[in-house]
Amino acid sequence: MKKIIALTAAAAAMCIGLTACNAGYKGEYGDAGWSGGLEINNGVTGDSDDGYYYEKIVEQPFTQVAEQASSYFSLDRNTAGYSIMRSQIENGYKIQPDSVRIEEFINYFDYGFEDTDGEVLKISTYMTDCPWNEENKLILAGVKTQEFELTDVNANYVFLIDVSGSMSGDLRLGLAKKGLNFLLDGLTENDLVSLVTYASGVRTVLDGEECTESGKTNIRNKISALKASGATNGGDGLERAYKIAQEHFISGGNNRVIIISDGDFNVGMKNTDELKEFIQNKAQSGVHLSVLGVGMGNMRDDLLETLARCGNGNYAYLDSETEARKVFCDELNGTLKTVASDAKACVSFTDSVAKYRLIGYDTKIISKDDFENAEADAGEIGSNLCVAALYEVTLGGQPDGELASVTVKCKADGEALEFTETVTLQTPSSEDLSFISCVAEFGLILRNSEYKENASIANVLQRLESLNGYINGELYKTEFVTLVGKADESGFYSGEQ
């Protein structure tokens, strides 16, 4: 393990502005010692003292193919769960189990999945032995979306910024300002920007400013002047932002509300059920949503995740300037341009598989009816992004031929599309899958999953060392190795292996 950390230290130092790890570890789940799992608001876990709130996650069990051969889920490329995990480890906290959404760990990274060849998306399939259970296999369905340049269409963006008192600080409002300035660098004079703030009340700071040179200067000045104080009337802020987005709606353009908040709505709509109904109605307007969370403590991940899931949106968590650059620079097209709308997947297993378990996507399971209904709402995937779904399977007694078929349905420019790929006994493995298996095993350990079997951080570190050639030069994958090492050194997980 020490050898791996030494090999990756130089690359990890390349990260600009990463959250510094505080000296020493602070105990379970933060300064207040989260240990209870207080139930609030219809299946949300958190603690009334430290203010951490996550949606309750119930892991998918193994399913017998003879009883139900197909698995259905909504596809998206949210990554907030990974950044939240990183922030907790960097700051010496033990990971709160319900903060672990393993698909968001896996989908944080870029992979070498097959190119789309001009199609909206392409499915790649891979298979390997399961590292934490030698009796099973891992099957990976990897999706790569078409690359699309934001400059090809005009944009209408409404920045909705939480300026309540809880947003005070460099890693909250300060980080929001940096992120928005990074975003402005990529906009052109044909793009429109509006700026709405909310605290105890709601204020329209800019209404349809053109991103000319002088316009950008004005936008930056308005962003720079933002200050945090007051309560958090997020519901009214969302109402105003969508109203302005509709007023400036560009037919055929990229219309989007971008909310940056810690999710601590304490005035007006603040219940997840209320927000879910509200945002589902707004999602029908043709205006997409990007949700960017900031801050730890008073951070309502459950609300922000609900907004993204129900609002034709994506969800990232900004814990550092490096992450702001990743979201707004490296992955700008993916963050702000949806190419596959209402994306959903079905994986159907043959009787060559005895049982299967989808790892992650626990909050995104859908019914067969919703999969087959072209009008049912599902996930959104941006431009030039990789999305992966990982299954642990037990093969039947005498497996032969096809093991599974993977079908992805989505819409692009209003057209319903369908893509299919198969998995057979000859389906190859890949270094991407080897790395993904490390990420998945780490997630199983952090949430102390009942399905972790022989998973251990030592095993993860050993396999990561064997992937040095694959990881070397990959900034975020290198950082992952360092995070696993820090989790190991914390001692928090030695009794859960």
What amino acid occupies position 375?
E
Single residue among 293, 309, 336 that ends a domain in this structure? 336
What is the longest distance spanned by two Cα atoms in the chain? Answer: 70
* Domain-located, residue 170: yes
CA-CA distance, 135 to 162, in Å (whole number)?
50
* Domain-located, residue 20: yes
List the one residue out of 53, 84, 265 whose CA is nearest residue 160. Answer: 265
* Domain-located, residue 401: no
Q: Is residue 240 located within the same domain as residue 159?
A: yes
Q: Is residue 330 located within the same domain as residue 446?
A: no
* Domain-located, residue 388: no
**Residue 288 is part of which domain span?**
150-336
Q: Is residue 161 located within the same domain as residue 46?
A: no
Single residue among 336, 357, 384 that ends a domain in this structure? 336
Ranges of H-type helices in 13-79: none
* Domain-located, residue 487: yes
In degrees, rounded to 5, the angle at the alpha carbon of residue 105 between the alpha carbons of residues 477 and 356 is 120
Domain count, the chain: 2
Q: Is residue 327 located within the same domain as residue 255?
A: yes
| pLDDT tens figures, 121-170 | 999 999 999 999 999 999 999 999 999 877 778 899 999 999 988 898 88
* Domain-located, residue 203: yes
Q: Is residue 290 located within the same domain as residue 229?
A: yes
Q: Is residue 169 located within the same domain as residue 31?
A: no
Report which DSSP code applies to 285.
Answer: G
Q: Is residue 469 located within the same domain as residue 326?
A: no
The pTM score is 0.85
Q: Is residue 179 located within the same domain as residue 307?
A: yes
Q: Residue 408: is it exposed, middle or buried by C-beta count within 10 angstroms (0-12/13-18/19+)?
A: buried
Ranges of H-type helices in 400-454: 431-446
| pLDDT tens figures, 336-356 | 888 999 999 999 999 999 999
CA-CA distance, 436 to 141, in Å (whole number)?
11
CA-CA distance, 159 to 257, in Å (whole number)?
6
Please check whether residue 429 is in contact with residue 125, taking contact to mean a CB–CB distance below 8 angstroms. no
Single residue among 305, 336, 367 that ends a domain in this structure? 336
Q: Is residue 162 located within the same domain as residue 34?
A: no
CA-CA distance, 66 to 68, in Å (whole number)?
6
List the one residue out of 192, 102, 118 whose CA is nearest residue 154. Answer: 192
- pLDDT tens string, the chain, 497 residues long: the values are 433 433 333 333 333 333 333 323 333 444 322 222 222 344 545 443 345 678 889 999 999 999 999 999 999 999 999 999 999 999 898 999 999 999 999 999 999 999 999 999 999 999 999 999 999 999 999 999 999 877 778 899 999 999 988 898 888 899 999 999 998 988 889 899 999 999 989 999 999 999 999 999 999 999 999 999 888 788 889 999 999 999 999 998 889 999 998 876 665 555 667 777 888 888 888 898 889 988 766 677 887 888 888 877 889 999 899 999 999 888 878 788 889 999 999 999 999 999 999 999 999 999 999 999 998 989 999 999 999 999 999 999 888 889 999 999 999 988 999 999 999 999 999 999 999 999 999 999 999 999 999 999 999 999 999 999 999 999 999 999 999 999 999 999 986 54
Residue 251 belongs to domain with CATH number:
3.40.50.410
List the one residue out of 40, 68, 71 whose CA is nearest residue 53. Answer: 40
